[in-house]
């Protein structure tokens, strides 16, 4: 009976618990995306979906991320001639010196576009490995504000890739 309940939980709720609001928004995004694809004759971007739905872009991104399926690194993606390739095999190995230099130049340039407060948040979060709660205390704001600010910065940075 316990095993059955665990299987039911994993089947119905997935490996990661996602709020009902995010699940519902994910379904609405899928429907809006189809409508926009037909109207625009191309795949709509996040901004267009957010405008059509009347919600923030961050909420759309969060719902899309929450709706993605989790993949195992051991998942076989190619099989042939007694040879299997897994997702783990496709993860790039350590970067060469040239790539590290280019990454550093890009990072320096794009961080220069951020406000001082945003750079400080990224430094504390990713270089000092501080929690959002600890950063919130240091900055005199709430953890939720730190979370929203971090998401906004990361969306901005992804747009600069």
Pick the CATH number of 17-66 from 1.20.1300.10, 1.10.3720.10, 3.90.1150.10, 1.10.10.10: 1.10.10.10
Which region among 25-34, 38-47, 74-83 has the lowest average model confidence (pLDDT)?
A: 74-83
Scored b (16 or more CB within 10 A) or e, 84-103 reads: eeeeeeeeeeeeeeeeeeee
Query: Quick one: pLDDT at residue 55?
Result: 93
What backbone torsions phi and psi does residue 76 show, to the nearest 5 degrees?
A: -80, 125
Cβ atoms of residues 156 and 149 within 8 Å: no
Statement: residue 135 has pLDDT above 60: yes
Beta strand residue intervals within the chain, DSSP E: 76-80, 83-86
Answer for the pair 111, 103: CB distance below 8 angstroms, yes or no.
no
Query: What are residue 86's DSSP bridge partners?
Result: 76
Residues in the chain: 161
pLDDT at 117: 93
Q: Name the residue with tokens 């919130």.
A: 136
Backbone angles phi, psi at 24, to 5 degrees: -65, -40
Average pLDDT over residues 135-154: 93
The Cα 98–Cα 26 span in angstroms is 40
> Start-end ranges of CATH 1.10.10.10 in the chain?
17-66, 97-159
pTM: 0.41
Residue 66 and residue 45: Cα distance in Å, rounded? 17
Instruction: State pLDDT tens for residues 87-120.
Output: 777 777 776 788 888 888 888 888 889 999 999 9
Q: Does the structure show a pLDDT above 90 at 80?
A: no
Q: Determine whether 130 is exposed, middle or buried from the number of CB atoms within 10 Å of its CB (0-12, 13-18, 19+).
A: middle
97-159 CATH fold: Arc Repressor Mutant, subunit A (1.10.10)
């Amino acid at each position: 009976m316990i095993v059955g309940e665990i299987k039911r939980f994993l089947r119905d709720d997935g490996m990661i618990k996602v709020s009902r609001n995010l699940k519902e928004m994910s379904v609405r995004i899928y429907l809006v995306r189809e409508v926009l694809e037909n109207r625009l004759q191309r795949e709509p971007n996040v901004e267009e979906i957010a405008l059509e739905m009347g919600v923030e872009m961050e909420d759309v991104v969060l719902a899309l991320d929450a709706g993605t399926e989790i993949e195992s690194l051991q998942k076989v993606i190619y099989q042939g001639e007694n040879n299997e390739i897994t997702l783990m095999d496709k993860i790039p190995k350590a970067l060469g010196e040239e790539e590290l230099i280019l990454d550093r130049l890009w990072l320096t340039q794009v961080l220069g576009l951020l406000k001082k407060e945003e750079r400080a948040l990224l430094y504390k979060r990713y270089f000092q490995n501080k929690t959002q709660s600890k950063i919130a205390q240091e900055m005199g704001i709430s953890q939720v504000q730190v979370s929203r600010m971090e998401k906004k910065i990361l969306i901005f940075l992804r747009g600069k890739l």
